[in-house]
Amino acid sequence: MTFASRMTRAPRAFEPDRGADGLAHVQGIDAGLHDLIHGAAGCSPFLLGLLGVEGAWLTENIDTPEAARDAILAEVAQLPRADLEQGLRTAKRRMALLVALADLGGVWPLETVTRAITDLADGAVDICIRRLVAAEITRGKLPAMTEDDAQSAAGMVALSMGKQGAYELNYSSDIDLICLFDETRFDPDDYHEARAAFIRVTRKMTAILSDLGAGGYVFRTDLRLRPDASVTPVCLSMETAERYYESVGRTWERAAYIKARASAGDITAGE
């Protein structure tokens, strides 16, 4: 089935001239999608901008939206360190455009829409952690860790909280993360050096995802749900976090874990 044959609705353009501009960016697209593109571009300057950048990609991939979504996620998982900033922003643009049209056209239900956005967030955080941890290992900043340990992020995990944890991210959602590391993988004498490395990884990851550049940002990233965020580093050992929740953690902090999910890095350790 084509995308057009699966559509059940299409928005009406609030600004028809903008809608026409949107169609100009996808001149080779199936005529059955014209009303959808016209309406989306005529109602959303953001989507019009995405069409201007990713119109050619959309034209080639719109008829197989599930395959296009999966291809975006697969490309994210293979990004090298040098391409993270640009590659993740390209992935975000394409996923946002694809998901929005599938949503506005009634092709995907709400659960599929929010799952696609959340899967992209999970993948973006995961590849950032893995590539940045690998860089710290290469520099000799994670004692006793080897290249093989980079596959498990040397014991670092990101817990997704709130909407991301529940696969409910929407178009404008930020992501709330708690970053932890498994201190048992290191000799006690190496604890502080390892912690410093994971703090650097977390800060660099946040910058890659959140910094606003020519290609926009990937996801605004909030780390303030971690234990005692006003005085603790951005990445904590699991033992430190457990002691906090067992002793002085407040009720709302524990309740936040109702939707928590280990989503990136060493997921086995996080679970």
User: What's the CATH code of the domain at 225?
Assistant: 3.30.460.10
Q: Could you tell me the residue range of the domain that residue 187 belongs to? A: 144-270
Q: How confident is the model at residue 241 (pLDDT cuts 50, 70, 90)?
A: very high
The total number of structural domains in the chain stands at: 2
* Confidence at residue 213, expressed as pLDDT on a 0 to 100 scale: 84
Do the beta carbons of residue 114 and residue 170 sit within 8 Å? yes
Residue type, 244: Y
Rg (CA), the chain: 21
pLDDT surpassing 90 at residue 102: yes
Pairing of strands 175-181, 156-161: antiparallel
Choosing from 108, 131, 163, the residue where a domain stops is: 108
Give yes or no: residues 66 and 159 share one domain.
no
pLDDT of residue 249 exceeding 90, the answer is yes
Average pLDDT, the chain: 97
What's the average model confidence in pLDDT over 204-218? Answer: 95
On whether residue 134 sits in a domain, the answer given is no
How far apart are the C-alpha atoms of 21 and 41, rounded to whole Å? Answer: 8
